[in-house]
Amino acid sequence: MLSEDQINSYNQKGYLVVEGAIPADKLKELQQVTDDFVSNSKDIKENDEIYDLSPDHKTDNPNLRRLKNPHLIHKTYENITKDPCILDIVEKLVGKNIRRDHTKLNFKSAKGGEAIEWHQDWAFYPHTNDDIVEVGIFLDDCGEENGPLMAVPGSHKGPLDDHHHDGVFIGAVDPAKSNYNLETAEPFLAKAGSISLHHVRSLHGSRKNNSNKSRRVLFVGYTAADSWPLKGILDLGLKPTTSEGDFVKNIYQVYTNNIVRGDPCLQARVENNPIKMPYPPPQSVGSIYENQKEVRGRSFGE
């Protein structure tokens, strides 16, 4: 449960860390399943629908950057996204009708896990309103040394930074052109089993992990059920089908299948927010690591 102070802090800053939110047995299961995925990736040679491989990934040293859509590939991940230990907290921030939008597991491996440049998630997936929160489930302890996520306080209430370069969406902000003082960013530091919550418009990024300790975080994006994706079917993870009838049915089914608490809401709540559509796409697609290859003006060096 969240206290009034925690809710006020989230509303003011745009983020919050809640210590010890995940029960020990569930954390252990998540860690074990994640270790198994890394072992099972040893014979994978190229990025696919599940695995985003680290550049130094090898059979004798399997190394992942990301598991894509983990809730679709293992029950343990699916279950935690629906667990009251998370939904009771999310409900306080986005209301009682909640849709799960996406999941991803970022590894940020020891000795080289990659940086993620400054960005606002909203630039990737604008919706009819911004009652959207990204929950990070810490599978490892996270300190200053292993590349914590950092967010700029108050940025969720301000303008959208430019995530385009030369007319192409690259999913990253040139720090020299940001509307915000990046020096004010605060790191999310906490023990394994804690969670972070950041607002969809909060400007955030993270350094490379040069330490000896990995920093695995399972991210789950939740929206208010009346927040409908402006990218439509693409944001709901659908591929166009040939039949128009199936197509429309699928949109509705995917939407309702992802209502994890409360009821669907066909009455979209539309708010006046800064929106720039994330098109045209960059050359490198597949994950944020690929999108950001085209970034100019990097914030995070070696």
Cis, bond preceding 175 (omega within 30 deg of 0): no
Position 207 contacts ligand AKG (CB under 6 A)? no
From residue 259 to residue 288, the character string flagging contacts with ligand AKG as x (rule: CB under 6 A) and all else as - is -----------------------------x
Nearest distance in Å: CB 285, ligand AKG? 14
List the x/- string, 216-235, binding to ligand AKG by CB under 6 A: -x------------------
What pairing do the DSSP bridges indicate for beta strands 116-119 and 132-138?
unpaired
| CA 22 to centroid of chain Cα atoms | 18
**CA 114, CA 214: separation in Å to the nearest integer?**
11
* 149 binding ligand AKG? (CB under 6 A): yes
Torsion from C-alpha of 93, 179, 176, 130, nearest 10 degrees: 30
Nearest approach in angstroms of CB 127 to ligand AKG is: 16
Least Cβ distance, residue 59 to ligand AKG (angstroms): 25
**3-state secondary structure at position 155:** helix
Per CB under 6 A, does 203 bind ligand AKG? no
Phi-psi region of 173 (alpha: psi -120 to 50; beta: other; left: phi over 0): beta
Q: Which of 99, 102, 165, 204 binds ligand AKG (CB under 6 A)?
A: 204
> What is the smallest separation between the CB atom of 113 and ligand AKG, expressed in angstroms?
9
41 in contact with ligand AKG (CB under 6 A)? no
Cα 96 to the center of its chain, rounded Å: 21
Cβ-based neighbours of 144, under 8 Å, separated by 6 or more: 187, 189
Q: Quote the least distance from Cβ 135 to ligand AKG, whole Å.
A: 12
Q: Is 106 in the site for ligand AKG (CB under 6 A)?
A: yes
Q: Which is nearer to ligand AKG, 217 or 295 (CB)?
A: 217
Q: Report whether 162 contacts 173 (CB < 8 A).
A: yes
CB of 95 to ligand AKG, least distance (A): 23
- Hey, what are 75's tokens? 């029950």
* Total residues found in the chain within this entry: 302
116 binds ligand AKG (CB under 6 A): yes
Phi, psi of 132 (to 5 degrees): -140, 130
Residue showing the smallest CB distance to ligand AKG in the complex: 206
Residues contacting ligand AKG: total by CB under 6 A: 8
Residues that bind ligand AKG (CB under 6 A): 106, 108, 116, 149, 204, 206, 217, 288
